[in-house]
């Protein structure tokens, strides 16, 4: 029997439990507890010491509508009083409503969804559906990508140093380069390259046995944690031609980019390309409750009327999570959050370019909507990276983490703990111009820490 009295809740005890009893994600286990967050509102959060800071990361790009919106909290409470969850073999009103709403807001004939508990699970379902629909094992993935933390999703997270410790199995994966023009793996420049990165995928599919062997290709429409990589305008239309030619399914991982983050409902809307399978999470419930979804095109969904659908979970279609998303989607619309992301995103990108001019450590600036990255380099001419790819998973000095620390001291959180050399600014989509100015001024000061390492 647990003795609650012995688990006191004073600051020192809680700090000790954090250090001794909790696994901290993606890191050596710290010898100090991180600051404890006690409340959050809109674009700001407050820690136990009473300090308020600006959230320029939307908590790993999830809290798109900002923190503690009373409309969502009320909807959660209302649903919780009625029915928190039920066995997924039965229907609940929130799940039935949500799957219809997802079919409405996603592009083309994406129409049948599997509702899970987060982005990784959504990708696991996508890969399983892709294997089951095609009967094939090979999946193409791109270097410098993150698709999640479980076995298959992590093994597909190619070129993300966090995946190196993973023991592989199951899916047969093939890696191809990203359309990462700042560091083109073909040594070419856009547009003279004529998109070698797409031609390469075409060749790889052929050499791997074409559509008879290759099931699908998974990608982040705008790569998030590995560097805010925005593809050239023709990339996805051309990739679709290649996939259609071979009968290879396109799986768009919109876990970070979905729900207005890039200035459209989904990033694929920018290029008018309808993927065969799309995954989403984060902005769907904005972190108020965990939820993920995998949505497929009609002909794929219909196939499972005759073929057994071999996937499921106890909490699939969790009523409370679904009710959260059902409450949130109309707020995106009524508050014009997607439009604000486009408008404020353009302003943030402009401001980030001003930072690039000022700071020798900033080699490149990229972004789409409120998803803007500053790539840190040692040398702007040679583009020598500030830290090697494995910088995050090796102990030792990492100037980007020093910038993150400085940001915290100055009163802001940005996405700097990700792999690679990019500091991402992804504030909630409710952000105003004044708040962007405030955040950029803090970033301006914090970047001085990394300037010291630049030549």
- Interacting residues with ligand PLP (CB under 6 A): 60, 118-120, 123, 146-149, 220, 224-225, 253, 255-256, 281
Q: How far is the CB of 120 from ligand PLP (least distance, A)?
A: 3
In whole angstroms, how close is the CB of 281 to ligand PLP at the nearest point?
5
Chain residue whose CB lies nearest ligand PLP: 119
Give 142 or 359: the residue with its C-beta nearer to ligand PLP. 142
Q: Is the peptide bond before 191 cis (omega within 30 degrees of 0)?
A: yes
Shortest Cβ 130–ligand PLP spacing (Å): 15
The nearest distance, CB 154 to ligand PLP, in angstroms, is: 10
Q: Residue 176's beta-bridge partner residues?
A: 142
Specify the residue, 221 or 406, whose C-beta has the smaller distance to ligand PLP.
221
Which of 60/114 has CB closer to ligand PLP? 60
> Which CB atom, from 61 or from 450, has the smaller least distance to ligand PLP?
61
Rounded to a whole number of angstroms, the minimum distance from the CB of residue 445 to ligand PLP is: 27
CA atoms of 283 and 370, how far apart (whole Å): 13
Residue with smaller CB distance to ligand PLP, 170 or 209 = 170
Could you please report the per-residue DSSP string of 169-192?
A: -SSEEEEE----GGG-TTS--TTT
- The widest CA-to-CA distance across the chain, in whole angstroms, is 69
Residues across the chain: 455
Q: Give the C-alpha separation, 190 to 243, whole Å.
A: 22
Torsion of CA 100, 145, 60, 124, to 10 degrees: 40
Strands 110-116, 422-425: pairing kind = unpaired
Residue closer to ligand PLP by CB (options 57, 120) is 120
CB 195 within 8 A of CB 179: yes
The DSSP code for 232 is P
Least distance CB 391 / ligand PLP (angstroms): 18
HSE-CB at 174 with a 13 A cutoff on CA atoms is 20
Tokens of 433: 């111009």
């Amino acid at each position: 029997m647990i003795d609650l009295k012995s688990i006191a809740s004073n600051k020192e005890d809680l700090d000790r439990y954090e250090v001794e009893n909790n696994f901290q994600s993606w890191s050596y286990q710290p010898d100090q507890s991180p600051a404890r967050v006690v409340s959050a509102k809109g674009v700001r959060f407050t820690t136990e010491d009473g300090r308020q800071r600006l959230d320029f990361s939307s908590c790993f790009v999830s809290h798109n509508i900002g923190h503690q919106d009373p409309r969502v909290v009320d909807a959660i409470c209302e649903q919780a009083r009625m029915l928190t969850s039920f066995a997924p073999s039965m229907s609940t009103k929130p799940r039935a409503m949500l799957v219809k709403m997802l079919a409405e807001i996603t592009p083309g004939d994406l129409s049948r969804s599997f509702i899970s508990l987060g982005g990784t699970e959504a990708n696991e379902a996508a890969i399983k559906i892709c294997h089951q629909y095609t009967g094939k094992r090979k999946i193409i993935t791109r270097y410098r990508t993150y698709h999640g933390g479980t076995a298959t999703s992590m093994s597909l997270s190619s070129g993300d140093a966090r995946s190196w410790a993973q023991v592989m199995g199951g899916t047969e994966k093939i890696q191809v380069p990203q359309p990462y023009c700042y560091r083109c793996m073909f040594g070419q420049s856009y547009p003279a390259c004529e998109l070698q990165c797409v031609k390469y995928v075409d060749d790889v599919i052929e050499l791997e046995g074409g559509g008879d062997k290759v099931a699908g290709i998974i990608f982040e429409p705008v790569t998030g944690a590995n560097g805010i990589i925005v593809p050239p305008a023709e990339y996805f239309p051309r990739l679709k031609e290649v996939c259609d030619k071979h009968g290879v399914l396109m799986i768009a991982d919109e876990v970070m980019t979905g729900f207005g983050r890039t200035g459209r409902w989904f990033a694929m809307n920018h290029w008018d390309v309808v993927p065969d399978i799309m995954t989403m999470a984060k902005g769907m419930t904005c972190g108020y409750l965990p939820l993920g979804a995998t949505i497929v095109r009609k002909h794929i969904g219909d196939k499972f009327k005759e073929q057994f659908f071999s996937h499921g979970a106890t909490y699939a279609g969790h009523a409370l999570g679904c009710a959260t998303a059902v409450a949130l989607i109309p707020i995106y619309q009524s508050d014009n959050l997607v439009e604000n992301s486009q408008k404020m995103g353009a302003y943030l990108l402009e401001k980030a370019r001003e930072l690039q001019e000022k700071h020798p450590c900033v080699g490149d600036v990229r972004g789409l909507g409120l998803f803007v990255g500053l790539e840190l380099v040692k040398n702007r001419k040679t583009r020598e990276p500030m830290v090697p790819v494995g910088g995050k998973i090796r102990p030792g000095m990492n100037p980007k983490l020093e910038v993150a620390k400085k940001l915290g001291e100055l009163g802001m959180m940005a996405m700097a703990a990700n792999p690679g050399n990019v500091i991402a600014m992804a504030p909630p989509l409710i952000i105003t111009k004044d708040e962007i100015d405030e955040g950029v001024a803090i970033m301006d000061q914090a970047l001085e820490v990394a300037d010291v390492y630049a030549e």
